[in-house]
Amino acid sequence: MPGTSQGIKRRDRGLTAVSLLLALLTGSCASGGGAPSDNAGAAPSGLSGKIERLFSGSSAKGPQTAANAQPDVNCPPVEVRNGAATYDVGSTADKSAMTLKYQGEFAREARDCAVVGGNMVMNVGVQGRVIVGPAGGPGQVEVPLRIAVVEETPGSTRAIMTKFIPIPVTIAPNAGNVPFTHIEEALTFPLPTPTSRLDSYIVYIGFDPQSAEALAKPPPKVRAKRHRRPKPQPAANAN
């Protein structure tokens, strides 16, 4: 994920102009493809209990004390990075709304923390949806999620750790939108000294299409080196 700037603590949760157009075309963003539980992009049943526990807790931004720690060790909040709140898939030649195939957006975030052996161990949960655009249809979409832990202080931003996670989402026929859920477990980084510096830590989530494009590119071809035959040396003149 690109670097962040001090003071970016909020994201625009309103729909973009493209999303408004999609809402009109699909009738309703919340109901276009039927019940969310019937969509292929919904969370697998094996994760249902874990997801419910994580998302039923306090908000992603609210104060939260890390487990197995002193009361003053706080769990860093989760924010959607400004400029990375939506993900558009469409024609590369024409960027108009009518050529949009899919648009990804976040719905809610959650986290919990524990201190283990001098490290902060975090579980970060993300829920969102993929809206099917005018040019979209059934198929497979990979949502390019980036999670980054940074320390933000006045005048500086320091990256603590970052991870890229492609999330596969299956779009069923006639689906208007498909929900997706992902929980990234055991994100681990050392506790700072003093631990009060954790108050300046923040976990950013966002869509990272640049990393997805880089992974999709084939590796460059390496040309084999040609071994040149040594030139024959002239025979020495016999005396």
- Is residue 80, in this structure, part of any structural domain at all? yes
d(CA 211, CA 144): 8
The answer to the question of residue 85 being in a domain is yes
**Could you tell me whether strands 86-90 and 100-116 are parallel, antiparallel, or unpaired per DSSP bridges?**
antiparallel
Cβ(89)–Cβ(100) below 8 Å: yes
Digitized pLDDT (tens) for each residue of the chain, 239 residues in all: 544 444 433 334 333 333 433 333 333 333 333 333 334 344 444 557 777 888 886 678 888 899 998 888 999 999 999 999 999 998 666 667 788 999 999 999 999 999 999 999 999 999 999 999 999 999 999 999 999 999 999 999 999 999 999 999 999 999 999 999 999 999 999 999 999 999 999 999 999 999 888 877 776 676 666 666 777 776 666 55
Tell whether pTM > 0.95.
no
| Long-range contacts (CB closer than 8 Å, 24 or more residues apart) made by 208-214 | 208/1, 208/84, 208/144, 208/145, 208/146, 208/164, 209/87, 209/144, 211/144, 211/146, 211/164, 212/142, 212/144, 212/166
Q: Does some domain include residue 7?
A: no
Here the tokens at position 19 are: 């999303």
Q: Buried b vs exposed e over 46-76: b needs ≥16 C-beta within 10 Å?
A: eeeeebeebbeeeebeeebebeebeeebbbb
CB 116 within 8 A of CB 38: no
Cα gap 185→173, rounded to integer Å: 32
Other Cβ atoms less than 10 A from the Cβ of 40: the count is 15
Domain membership of residue 221 (yes or no) is no
Considering the domain boundaries, does residue 56 fall inside one? yes
113 contacts 180 by C-beta, under 8 angstroms = no
- CA distances 91 to 15, 155, 175, 215, Å, are 21, 39, 20, 19
175 is in which domain, residue-wise?
17-216
- Residue 55, domain member (yes or no): yes
Give domain status of residue 26, yes or no.
Answer: yes
205 Cβ contact list (under 8 Å, min separation 6) = 78, 79, 80, 81, 106, 109, 124, 126, 145, 146, 147, 148
What burial class does residue 80 get, using C-beta atoms within 10 Å of its C-beta: 0-12 exposed, 13-18 middle, 19+ buried?
buried
Half-sphere exposure of 35 (CA within 13 A, CB side): 2
Number of domains in the chain: 1
Q: What is the pLDDT of residue 226?
A: 66
Q: What is the pLDDT of residue 227?
A: 65
Q: What is the dihedral of CA 186, 156, 73, 80, to 10 degrees?
A: -50
156 part of a folded domain = yes
Closest CA to 189 of 205, 202, 172: 202
Q: Is the dihedral of CA 173, 175, 181, 182 positive or negative?
A: positive
